[in-house]
C-alpha cells in the first residue's frame, strides 16, 4: 500500500520525542514540531524541522504525532484550549505515543472517527536508549488500515511494531509492559543490595548474570547506571508513577489483585516525595538503600 503521509507534525519533543524526530528528519520527512518549552526544539529546527503551533500542525500535516507527559496534557491538546481535533484534516492521522489510559484512547478514536480522522494509540517502550538507536517497541491499538499506513513511519524508529487490537489495546499492552518492568526493577534492586551485602563485585555480578536467565533492560542497562550513581532520566519517575496509577486503576476495574504493582508504586511515590520525581526509574535503588541502611557507593565495612 502506498504511503501518502508526507507532512508530519510532532507535539512533545521530550527525552524520547526529540530522538524520534531526528530519525524522521534523517529519513527525509517534512517535519513540523511543537513543545511548550520552545528551546527544546532548537536542535531539531537547526536540523531542518519547522516550528509551529498545535493548531498550525493540525491544519497542515497529514499525520500528527503526540508524545506528552500525562493524560490531562493529551486531553488539553486534543479537546480543550484551541483543540486540534477541530483543525485536523479529514483523512489525516492522529497517532498518540503518550502512555495514557485505554478509556481515553477509546474516546479519542470515537471522536476522530466522527470527523473522518484515523486514530491510533501507540505507546512505546525502550526508553532513551531505544529512541536514540531507533529500536523502540511500538504497541498499537486501532484499525488495521491506519496501522498499515503508519507502519512505514514507525519503522524509522521502531523494530518491534505490532497491532494489538482495536482502540485502547495499545495502551492496555503498555500497562502489561509497565507491570512487568516495575516488578523486574524491584527484583534487580533487591539483587544488587543482596550482592553488596555478600561482598561481591557488583559490576562483575551484572556482567555474569546479565548473560543468563536474569538478563533484562533493568539489569543490563540500568544496573550499571545505578552503580555509577547515574540517576539521569531515560524515563522520569513522575511519569512512571502516572503509568502505574493507570495500571492500578485498570486492575481495580478488572477486579484484579496485583500486590507487586501496588507495593513498588508506593516505593516510587516515596522517591518522588523526597525530590526524585525527575530522576530515571533506576532511582528506586535509593529507596531500597534507605530501607536497608546501605549505600552501594561506599565500601562495605
DSSP 3-state of 199 = coil
Over its C-alpha atoms, the chain yields an Rg (Å, rounded) of 20
State how far the Cα of 195 lies from the Cα of 200, in Å rounded to an integer: 5
Catalytic residues: 174
Sign of CA pseudo-dihedral 61, 63, 152, 137: positive
Strand pairing of 30-34 and 50-51?
parallel
State how far the Cα of 295 lies from the Cα of 297, in Å rounded to an integer: 5
State how far the Cα of 19 lies from the Cα of 16, in Å rounded to an integer: 5
Sign of CA pseudo-dihedral 52, 170, 26, 22: positive
Amino acid at each position: 500500500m502506498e504511503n501518502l503521509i508526507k507532512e508530519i507534525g510532532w507535539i512533545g519533543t521530550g527525552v524520547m520525542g526529540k530522538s524520534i524526530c531526528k530519525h524522521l528528519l534523517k529519513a527525509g520527512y517534512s517535519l513540523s514540531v511543537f513543545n511548550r518549552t520552545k528551546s527544546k526544539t532548537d536542535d531539531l529546527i537547526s536540523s531542518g524541522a519547522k516550528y509551529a503551533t498545535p493548531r498550525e500542525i493540525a491544519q497542515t500535516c497529514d499525520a500528527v504525532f503526540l508524545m506528552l507527559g500525562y493524560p490531562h496534557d493529551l486531553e488539553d491538546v486534543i479537546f480543550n484550549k484551541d483543540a486540534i481535533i477541530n483543525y485536523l484534516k479529514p483523512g489525516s492521522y492522529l497517532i498518540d505515543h503518550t502512555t495514557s489510559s485505554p478509556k481515553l484512547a477509546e474516546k479519542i478514536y470515537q471522536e476522530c472517527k466522527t470527523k473522518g480522522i484515523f486514530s491510533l494509540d501507540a505507546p512505546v517502550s525502550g526508553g532513551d536508549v531505544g529512541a536514540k538507536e531507533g529500536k523502540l517497541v511500538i504497541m498499537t491499538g486501532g484499525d488495521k488500515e491506519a496501522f498499515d499506513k503508519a507502519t512505514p513511519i514507525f519503522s524509522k524508529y521502531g523494530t518491534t511494531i505490532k497491532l494489538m487490537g482495536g482502540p485502547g489495546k495499545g495502551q492496555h499492552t503498555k500497562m502489561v509492559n509497565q507491570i512487568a518492568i516495575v516488578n523486574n526493577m524491584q527484583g534487580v534492586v533487591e539483587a544488587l543490595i543482596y550482592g553488596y551485602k555478600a561482598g561481591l563485585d557488583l559490576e562483575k555480578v551484572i556482567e555474569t548474570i546479565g548473560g543468563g536467565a536474569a538478563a533484562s533492560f533493568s539489569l543490563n542497562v540500568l544496573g550499571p547506571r545505578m552503580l555509577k550513581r547515574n540517576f539521569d532520566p531515560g524515563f522520569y519517575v513522575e511519569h512512571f508513577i502516572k503509568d502505574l496509577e493507570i495500571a492500578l486503576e485498570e486492575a481495580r476495574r478488572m477486579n484484579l489483585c496485583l500486590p507487586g504493582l501496588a507495593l513498588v508504586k508506593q516505593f516510587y511515590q516515596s522517591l518522588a516525595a523526597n525530590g526524585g520525581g525527575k530522576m530515571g526509574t533506576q532511582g528506586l535503588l535509593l529507596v531500597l538503600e534507605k530501607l536497608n541502611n546501605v549505600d552501594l557507593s561506599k565500601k562495605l565495612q
